[in-house]
Amino acid sequence: MNKGFVIIAQNTDQVNYVRMAELCAESLVRCMPDAKVSLISNNETTSTVWDKVIELPYGDLKGYFNDWQVYEASPYEYTIKLEADLYIPTSIDYWWDILQHRDVVVSTTIRNYHQDVSTIKAYRSFVTDNQLPDTYNAITYFKKSKLAEEFFATVRHIFEDWENIKTNFICNPNEPATTDFVYAIASHVIGVEQTTLPQFKEMSMIHMKQFINTMPSEDWTCTLVYEILPHTLRVNTVPQQYPFHYHIKSFADDIQEAFNEQ
């Protein structure tokens, strides 16, 4: 089975996303030593963690607009796409057993750091206002297939024609084309039953945003105690069992420091 993980990462003036992608990949291979992880980027990387480093097929279109290129760029028949600012604390290899039978699965489950499934929609008015599927593109599986190709072609079309498409939805007139919004629309267009698997709640991530975790501010690193250990990540003594979407970009410095010491 030709399977692997991919991370799209393009640096900005403010954020070194490639370094975060390197840390994500390293955290993954620490708990899944046989896993293949490829970087899709036009930026330089010196890390040896990568199975392959692949340039964006259509060049850097800036920001979220690169995302649809993942389908063509992935070197694997079966792919799990991860966002750069994820830390993988435990093996998710068992996901393949379920996902390999599908063409596309966009994750629909998030959790707080207590590992409880969250239904908080404070950051997702576009989902509730437009009755769209509650998708999280940060973890997306796809198989090289006609359906997956159609899904990502739809994602591309929505990004490229966003100024017209957004007029069909309830949103701010200046609403940007965020990947979560675009994936939700694409999932709706292609068919929720074909692009999501809500009963597979293990395909989920810890989302460290303020209201999901009932914290006093968005910067959870100033509120919670955490330990990055060789084979686990603890937050307020709770071992994290799912991909950890740390959200606060400076947390990458802590990951780097912990890796350097281990």
In this structure, are residues 138 and 206 in contact, taking their beta carbons and an 8 Å threshold?
A: no
Q: What is the pTM of this model?
A: 0.96
In the chain, pLDDT over 70 holds for what percent of residues? Answer: 100
C-alpha to C-alpha distance for 87 and 25, rounded to whole angstroms: 8
Per-residue pLDDT band at 225 (split at 50, 70, 90): very high
| Token pair belonging to 145 | 């297939």
Flag whether pLDDT at 143 surpasses 80. yes
For residue 79, give the DSSP letter: E
The full set of domain ranges for the chain reads: 3-261
pLDDT at 88 (0 to 100): 98
In this structure, are residues 144 and 2 in contact, taking their beta carbons and an 8 Å threshold?
A: no
Class of domain 3-261: alpha beta
Per-residue pLDDT band at 196 (split at 50, 70, 90): very high
Which sign, positive or negative, has the C-alpha torsion 250, 244, 51, 230? Answer: positive
In the chain, pLDDT over 90 holds for what percent of residues? Answer: 91
Task: List the one residue out of 172, 241, 255 whose CA is nearest residue 205.
Answer: 241
pLDDT at 262 (0 to 100): 87
C-alpha to C-alpha distance for 221 and 91, rounded to whole angstroms: 24
pLDDT (tens digit per residue) in 40-78: 999 999 999 999 999 999 998 876 789 999 999 999 999
Task: List the one residue out of 157, 62, 127 whose CA is nearest residue 165.
Answer: 157
Q: What is the mean pLDDT of the chain?
A: 96
pLDDT at 121 (0 to 100): 87
Question: Under DSSP, is residue 205 helix (H, G, I), strand (E, B) or coil?
Answer: strand
Flag whether pLDDT at 155 surpasses 90. yes
